[in-house]
Structure 1
Amino acid sequence: MNLISKEVMHVGEMASGAALTVPVYRIKGKQQGPDVYIQANMHGAEVQGNAVIFQLLEQLKTIELNGSITLVPYANPVGCNHKNGEYTLGRFDPITGVNWNRMYHFDESIIEPFAKAHLTDSIVEIERAFKALMVEQISQKLNHNIYGITTGQRIAYQLQRLAHQADLVLDLHTGPISSKHLYCPDYARASAEYFDIPHVLFIPNGFDGALDEATFCPWWYLQLKFAELGRDFPITKTATNQGKDAVIKESFTVELGSQEQIDLDVAHEDALGILSYLQYQGVINSNDFHPKTMVRYSCMLEDYKALYSPMGGMVDYLAEFGQPLAAGEPLARILRMDNYGDGDPLHYISLEDDVIPILHFASASVNQGTELYKVFSKYSIL
């Protein structure tokens, strides 16, 4: 039976002086292996990840670990509690308007001097020193910023400091009304097949403010810089190295379905899919977890398109998630009762290309220009 430790991390203060806190659970592995960081609920309404963390903790009680695992539910206590009537908002910081998942930090200028200073060091020495550098950078942002930082940055940086101490990072999210999909860095394509997720978005190996990017980009850029300097520094498992003589550094955003709801039975299945990936990476000492056989569709991020409503009205969402939809087939129909009797009350929305619908807007009531759907516009079978 594994010992699960718990601490409460103080991430800020409210106007009343009440503390903003986040629970942090840790399970320490008995052997040498990759360390893992998993967080959930950075966006207030995206709650299924908390149920998945619960199911992971239940499973991990009795699984032998090679590496250690840190799990953080309720990662954003402000977003979790940002309600408007019966709805949870919590996608954007209500003070600054910034997306909660765009406040993480990466400074590319650290890469070149570090690579030159550590060019002849061992892989173990490089990994230890680079982790320490990234943690120290975040600590400096937190504790030595003359002009201070925002509430959202204070929360994000403390989460990021935990994530930088890991080798594998999973950030659990959901969409509005959504199918399951995975944001996968382009260099880590081989790992996508080990999650039980049928739709994969391959994202550029660059930084745009999200946690997955903030934790894999430093290692990716370091690999590139070492290559320029004539040194091989692999950061992912391949068919040739199988993780040997490499530091395995991967981060993913895992989209677990729709917001504002949890399903503990589905969360159990989601947890098994994550354990399949962790087994592949050697985190757990087991042979019990394997990816499901399924058709997996992939799409480049640049081909992940938003469809905006051409008019206001009441929307009947017709397209089935995750299934190819032929060009010209309707995704939705919009009801305009103001046109009844002297116009056309029904308008069908379709596209000229084959697509796979992935998610749609949470409400049936839309303004002209509301994002109706997100779709894979150019896709292939993984």
Structure 2
Amino acid sequence: MNKLTHKKVFVGECASGAKKYIDVYTVSSDIQGEQYYIQANLHGPEIAGIPVVFALIAYLKRNLLKGAVTLVPSANPWGLDTKVGDKLIGHSDFSQEKPHDWNRIFPKIEPNDCDFLAHIKEDTNNLVLTKEKLLAYTLLNLAIKADVIIDIHSVVNSIKHVYYYPHEIINVINFDVPVYIELGYSFSGTFDEAVLYPYLSNNAYLTKEVYVLELSEEVAYEANKVVADTATILNYLYRKGVIEESQCKLVMKSETFTIQEKKALYAPSSGIFLPTVKIGDSVIKGQLMGTMLRQTSSIKVNSPYNGIVKNITVNRTLELGQFMLGVLTKD
């Protein structure tokens, strides 16, 4: 019989005294197995993963075969609550003098220094504990001992893809997404880097899997997408033997790229951008990808690469040099 537990973990306090918590759910089986950690919504506007995690909780409670899965539907209540009017803008912590991207707040921790609760206590005593540090230490404390970690993000107008590390090439294809992008073992303060870093020095990372799943929607998210995106993770769990069956089969054609093969194209002039390609389209070098309309003229935007359209800006009124679209290419 599977067991579901739920706890609230303190991650800060507003000036008014209102406290912030994250909800942590754990589904565990009587049969021992790997430990999984799945979180979503580290960036406030990226809400697509929240209903997916709740759907996973409901499914795993009935169908988990072995091991345990810890799930956090919204890893960052600060970001989720940051709005201007009806717009979610919590990609960064705007309470700081210099706003920080919420996925660049994580410290580089050495293997013998992973007692994150001790870090919280020490920084509190020394009056240097910020809400960013508290959130970072709390999430790392939840995830650091897991065998498999999945950090769910989302991108507006983008193809669904998974970032992975080179040693995970065999298992990453179990997600059944169109595109996989290989990362290097660098460090820039992201959550996935921070949970992997302590294991790099002694090759323990070879038995650890850390993935960043980028869903293809953000604020505009529909119920039928929840089913499809939940199935993406269930496919992986099914192939790992954690659940008995998956909601869909692995039939999707996919391609693998490195992070260096992800290219951004920028507006060649100011104007209104009218794309002629769609996300996921294959393009060849020289192919028309869109047009920049100006007051008295227009400029054709042709692809400089052979590849796949990864994402397209939702902003159609662009200034010179603003991001226009992304291409994944082997050129």
Could you tell me the TM-score, scaled by structure 2's length? 0.92
Q: Deviations over 1:170-220 (max 9, x none)?
A: 110011221101101111011121002111100012322111121223223
Read off the aligned partner of 2:184 and give its amino acid letter. Answer: P
- 2:266 — aligned with what? 308
Identify if the C-alpha distance between structure 1 residues 290 and 250 changes in structure 2 by more than 3 Å, giving closer, same or farther: farther
C-alpha separation in 1, matches of 2:282 and 2:178: 12
C-alpha separation in 2, matches of 1:155 and 1:64: 29
User: What are the within-5 Å matches in structure 2 for residues 57-76 of structure 1?
Assistant: 57-76=57-76
In the TM superposition, structure 1's runs of 4+ consecutive aligned residues that sit over 6 Å from their partners are: none
Between 1 and 2, higher relative CO (CA 8 Å, sep ≥ 6) is seen in: 1
User: What are the within-5 Å matches in structure 2 for residues 1-382 of structure 1?
Assistant: 2-94=2-94, 95=96, 96-107=98-109, 110-111=110-111, 133-134=113-114, 136=115, 138-145=116-123, 146-223=126-203, 235-236=205-206, 248-284=207-243, 286-288=244-246, 291-336=249-294, 338-339=295-296, 344=297, 346-378=298-330
Q: Which SS does the other structure have where 1:50 is aligned?
A: helix
C-alpha separation in 1, matches of 2:166 and 2:257: 11
Structure 1 portions without partners, runs of 5+? 115-132, 224-232, 237-247
Identity %: 29
C-alpha separation in 1, matches of 2:247 and 2:192: 24
C-alpha separation in 2, matches of 1:90 and 1:317: 28
Query: 1:104 Cα deviation (Å)?
Result: 1.2
Structure number having the greater strand percentage: 2
C-alpha separation in 1, matches of 2:182 and 2:139: 24
Q: Deviations over 1:255-306 (max 9, x none)?
A: 011211222322222222212212333433x255675212111111012111
Give the RMSD, CA atoms, in angstroms: 2.0
Identify if the C-alpha distance between structure 1 residues 181 and 317 changes in structure 2 by more than 3 Å, giving closer, same or farther: same
Identify if the C-alpha distance between structure 1 residues 181 and 34 changes in structure 2 by more than 3 Å, giving closer, same or farther: same
Residues 183 and 202 in structure 1, CA contact (< 8 A), matched pair in contact too: yes
After TM superposition, the structure 1 stretch with the greater mean CA deviation from structure 2, 158-167 or 308-317, is 308-317
Aligned length in residues: 327
C-alpha separation in 1, matches of 2:201 and 2:227: 35
Identify if the C-alpha distance between structure 1 residues 204 and 61 changes in structure 2 by more than 3 Å, giving closer, same or farther: same
Query: 1:147 Cα deviation (Å)?
Result: 4.6
> Which structure has the bigger radius of gyration?
1
Q: Which SS does the other structure have where 1:173 is aligned?
A: strand
Residues 335 and 347 in structure 1, CA contact (< 8 A), matched pair in contact too: yes
Residues 157 and 279 in structure 2, CA contact (< 8 A), matched pair in contact too: no
Read off the aligned partner of 2:196 and give its amino acid letter. Answer: F
